[in-house]
Amino acid sequence: MSRILAETVSLYRNAFRKTGESLVRGWLTIVAVVGFGFLLLLATQIASPLGMIGGFVLGAVNALLVGATLSLIEQSISHTRALTVRDVIGSVGHYFWDVIGIGFILWLPLMALDLSTQANPFGQLLSYAALLLIFLLLNPAPEIIYQVRHDSPLEVLKTSYEFVLENWIEWFLPFALILIPIILSPAGLQSFFSLSSRAGRGAGLDFSQVLVLPFTILGGWLDYAGIPASISWYIGLLLTPPLAVAMLLFRGHLFASLHGVSRRQRRFVTPFK
């Protein structure tokens, strides 16, 4: 047991160290994410009155912003130099079709889920359960898009499923720890299911959730620390972009350490790191 604990601590320590290095190189990603957030708000205002057409437009804008963000995260992880404005501009268009493809695959099943649960007295509970399952099984989809060679969106979903089955403890433990203040709050489970259902609908590829999730986590920790809501809201607004980028970088480094490496292989490698 102590050996497993030491290996796990070493795994996270290595991921945290690399996250700090990537954050220094890729600090411009924080600025880009703020700009992308304003672009999404603008697109939402424009698309809202357009009905179904507006929904497709908003979906395309979301895919554009998510793809660009993943490209910047990838460069922050893999490059040894600092990101530049040219890198931010060049990231636009990257992974657009990957995000669109996964969204299209999930669109019909999710629409069927919504229709089937409307008349069911336990519809909301069933919907939460299904979306939680999607959230868990497709959670590493963003990292698979930019780190694993794939030929189709279906292959991304298959790889995500296999990765979660193999590494669910190591992958979800950090997430569970940072959610402690939210889960222990009076409306903890409701907040958790609400968060996971929104994230599950986009398989982690909804740009608004890239910001909403860390903002909610920050709010939970600030509330747990006894900071008044009137102050914590502004603190959360200020710290959400860097936390969002740091979380994406940590996930990227953790995924790189876990993917394609069995627990037995990690036990062999750990002493030499």
Nearest C-alpha neighbor of 123 from the set 133, 132, 113, 135: 113
Please check the confidence at residue 165 and state whether its pLDDT lies above 50: yes
pLDDT band at 273 (very low <50, low <70, confident <90, very high): very low
Question: What's the token pair of residue 158?
Answer: 């298959």
pLDDT 10s digits, 36-91: 999 999 999 998 888 888 888 999 999 999 999 999 999 999 988 889 999 999 99
Q: What is the pTM of this model?
A: 0.88
% pLDDT > 70, the chain:
88
Q: Token match 């809202």: residue?
A: 48
Nearest C-alpha neighbor of 175 from the set 141, 139, 203: 139
pLDDT 10s digits, 232-272: 888 989 999 999 999 999 999 999 999 877 666 655 554 44
What letters, b where the CB count within 10 A reaches 16 and e where it falls short, cover 70-106? bbbbbbbbeeeeebeeebbeebeebbbebbbbbbebb
pLDDT 10s digits, 190-213: 666 666 666 666 677 889 888 988
**Which ranges of the chain does DSSP label H, i.e. alpha helix?**
2-25, 28-47, 51-78, 85-91, 96-118, 123-137, 141-147, 153-178, 180-183, 188-201, 207-224, 229-258, 263-269
% pLDDT > 90, the chain:
47
Largest CA distance in the chain: 59
Q: What is the average pLDDT score of the chain?
A: 85
What pLDDT, on a 0 to 100 scale, did the predictor assign at position 208? Answer: 87
Contact 139, 174 (CB under 8 A): no
How many alpha carbons fall within 13 Å on the CB side of residue 3? 8
Q: Where are the domains of the chain?
A: 2-272
